[in-house]
């Protein structure tokens, strides 16, 4: 079964750091681009970051640029998001999502999400 | 920067109805548009990409059309499992989602 499972969410104080992980299974992870997408409570979807299959190309949304770092380990079938200098507005469910083969930037497989709460 | 709008923001419909949701981009995005369905507490599900290509496994009652700035998602015969929120997403530039359209039971 094709599956993505996120972990690492939790409660963190403003200014703190957190590292999210996404474990992939059921497909050739190294062949696909990956993304992080977040959703604040009761709000819509916001794309956060993109990484190509080989890690050669990385993009960030302006809202997280300079604070978040996306990475992947193809040998471990894992995607990561290092989040530093966290703010209250980063509070959201964070999803990892696979880019479809036909075009990297639509997302066909999503994890169940991990909740990040930034609060003192 | 590209802006995405959706209309209506919500609608009430009955099982068996034909439902149309509109998505508009502030500038031309060719056919770089996807549609997702999201149910409460669940991850989004890809329905359509490239404006009109049905994702594998998605029922044929879902269809998409449009190019440039104006796009539509149509559900030809609404089923009970279709009550959800629908998002469009452009990928002509950095991915950007529309604000969503909630479809609920009349």
pLDDT score at A104:
74
Question: CA nearest A39: which of B103, B32, B43, B94?
Answer: B43
Cα B71 from Cα A78, distance rounded (Å): 35
Q: Is there a contact between B43 and A100 if contact means CB atoms under 8 Å apart?
A: no
Q: Does A114 touch chain B (CB under 8 A)?
A: no
Q: Residue A58's closest chain B neighbor by CA? A: B94
pLDDT at B22 over 90: yes
Q: Does A40 touch chain B (CB under 8 A)?
A: no
Q: Does A65 touch chain B (CB under 8 A)?
A: no
User: Chain B partners of A95 at a C-beta cutoff of 8 Å?
Assistant: 43-44
pLDDT score at B76:
96
Question: CA nearest A50: which of B93, B42, B37?
Answer: B93
Q: Does A110 touch chain B (CB under 8 A)?
A: yes
pLDDT score at B10:
97
Confidence of residue A102 (pLDDT cuts 50, 70, 90): confident
Confidence of residue A101 (pLDDT cuts 50, 70, 90): confident
Dihedral angle, C-alpha A64, A46, A34, B68, nearest 10 °: -120
Confidence of residue A97 (pLDDT cuts 50, 70, 90): very high
Question: CA nearest B37: which of B21, B16, B15, B25?
Answer: B21
Average pLDDT, chain A: 97
CB proximity list for A17: less than 8 A, separation 6 or greater? A82, A83, A84, A85, A86
Q: How far is B92 from chain A (nearest CA, A)?
A: 9
SS3 A74: helix
* pLDDT tens-place string over residues B38-68: 999 999 999 999 999 999 999 999 999 999 9
At residue B62, φ and ψ (nearest 5 deg) are -90, 135
Confidence of residue A103 (pLDDT cuts 50, 70, 90): confident
pLDDT at B35 over 90: yes
Q: Residue B58's closest chain A neighbor by CA? A: A108
């Amino acid at each position: 079964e094709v599956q993505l499972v996120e972990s690492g969410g939790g409660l963190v104080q403003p200014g703190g750091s957190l590292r999210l992980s996404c474990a992939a299974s059921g497909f050739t992870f190294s062949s696909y681009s990956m993304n992080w997408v977040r959703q604040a409570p009761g709000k819509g979807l916001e794309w956060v970051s993109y990484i190509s299959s080989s890690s050669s190309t990385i993009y960030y949304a302006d809202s997280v640029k300079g604070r978040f770092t996306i990475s992947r380990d193809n040998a471990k079938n894992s995607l990561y998001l290092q989040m530093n200098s966290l703010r209250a507005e980063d509070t959201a469910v964070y999803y990892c999502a696979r880019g479809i083969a036909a075009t990297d930037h639509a997302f066909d497989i999503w994890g169940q999400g991990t909740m990040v709460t930034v609060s003192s | 920067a590209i802006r995405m709008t959706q209309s209506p923001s919500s609608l009430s419909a009955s099982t068996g109805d034909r439902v149309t949701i509109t998505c508009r981009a502030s500038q031309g995005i060719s056919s770089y548009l996807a549609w997702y369905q999201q149910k409460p507490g669940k991850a989004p599900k890809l329905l359509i990409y490239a404006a009109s290509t049905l994702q594998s496994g998605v029922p044929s009652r879902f269809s998409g059309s449009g190019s440039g700035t104006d796009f539509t998602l149509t559900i030809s015969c609404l089923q009970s499992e279709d009550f959800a929120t629908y998002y469009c997403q452009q990928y002509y530039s950095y991915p950007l989602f529309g604000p969503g359209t909630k479809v609920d039971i009349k």
